Structure 1
Amino acid sequence: MCPGSFDPVTNGHLDIVGRASRLFDEVIIGVLINQSKTGLFTIEERLDILREATAPYDNVRVASFHGLLVDFCKAQGAAVVVKGLRAVSDFDYELQMAQMNIGLSGVETLFMPTNPLYSFLSSSLVKDVVKWGGDASAYVPDFVGERLVARLKQD
């Protein structure tokens, strides 16, 4: 299970998914439905974008969820959560989540160090770059960049 909001998916996310797809028979990308936040892209749009971005991987599927990640993992038959770590600050937060998840349900967490090319990258940074007219094409798939530009020009 690779969970997140993916608003939008970045090349850093896709690097983790691709690496996880080589380790596991099946990888599920779980898109969190957070009703207290309004994303740039709707849940349906994020699911479509992720399906297109992960099309090269025949063992990756995409689904949305709300509530506890461990409940979604159990419903999907996923025993491992895969999380990318960019920095020590990510580890502090993610370790607490991993410990809670194993305590709640026995779901393990595998931490993968992010490729150094993407160690600074976040969806929020990509949105800010595009919002202010910058070129984020090195950080997202081409079609995602095009959708970002189109969406942010509407605002």
Structure 2
Amino acid sequence: MSTLSPRRAVYTGVFDPVHCGHLDVIQRASKIMDELIVGVGVNPDKSPFFSLDERVELLQLVTKPFPNVVVRPFKGLAVRFVREVGAGIMVRGLRTLSDMEYEFTMSLMNLNLDPGIETIFLMAKEEFSHVSGSLLRQIALLDGDMSKFLPQEIQKPLRERARQRLSVS
């Protein structure tokens, strides 16, 4: 069994799209870790607006200010990805009580799958506690104002993708 770094953490998600709540967790986690790997994954239960490669590219764009943050795609179980990159910590963001219940259950399962990996939780700031990718995709489809919730670099690509989706349907 390889040695896991207690100062390297992984923050996984679908990030479709990456929003200010995600960036807040990334910024805060990058301050307490030597290295933060943002793992962009696939959720078989979701139909993302952006491809895996596009989501990685958008995340790389908005995480440039953080020198100790690396963005990587992955497929499969998050806990396996954390092990593969040699991290000892999984970072998870919590917005609501329902998030807490879900994430608590997931952290117990991950601990059973790999007892060498710990999970730490960062509570969302109040201004981001209601923000989700699915809500932002809906706002984009209905041509609403997303400026409070999305980094400037993400607003145009999301709006363009929403227009493409509307023109197809």
TM-score scaled by structure 1?
Answer: 0.96
Separation in structure 2 between the aligned mates of residue 51 and residue 84 of structure 1, nearest angstrom: 19
Q: Among 7, 11, 30, which residue is 2:39 paired with?
A: 30
**Cα distance per residue 1:88-107 (max 9 Å; x no partner):** 11010000110111111121
Runs of at least 5 residues in structure 2 that lack an aligned partner in the other structure: 1-9
**Does the alignment pair 1:67 with 2:76?**
yes
Runs of at least 5 residues in structure 1 that lack an aligned partner in the other structure: none
Partner of 2:3: none
Greater Cα radius of gyration, structure 1 or 2: 2
Separation in structure 2 between the aligned mates of residue 36 and residue 139 of structure 1, nearest angstrom: 24
Letter in 2 for 1:47: V
Matches within 5 A, 1:124-139: 124-139=134-149
Q: Among 30, 46, 59, which residue is 1:21 paired with?
A: 30
Partner of 2:4: none
Matches within 5 A, 1:46-125: 46-106=55-115, 107-125=117-135
What is the RMSD computed on CA atoms of the aligned residues?
A: 1.0
TM-score scaled by structure 2?
Answer: 0.89
Task: Measure how far apart 1:38 and its partner are.
Answer: 3.0
**Cα distance per residue 1:54-101 (max 9 Å; x no partner):** 000000001111111111111101111111111111010000110111
Runs of at least 4 residues off by over 6 Å: none
Identity %: 39
Residue correspondences, number: 155
Separation in structure 1 between the aligned mates of residue 65 and residue 94 of structure 2, nearest angstrom: 24
**Structure 1 residues 112 and 36 mapped into 2: Cα distance closer, same or farther (>3 Å)?**
closer
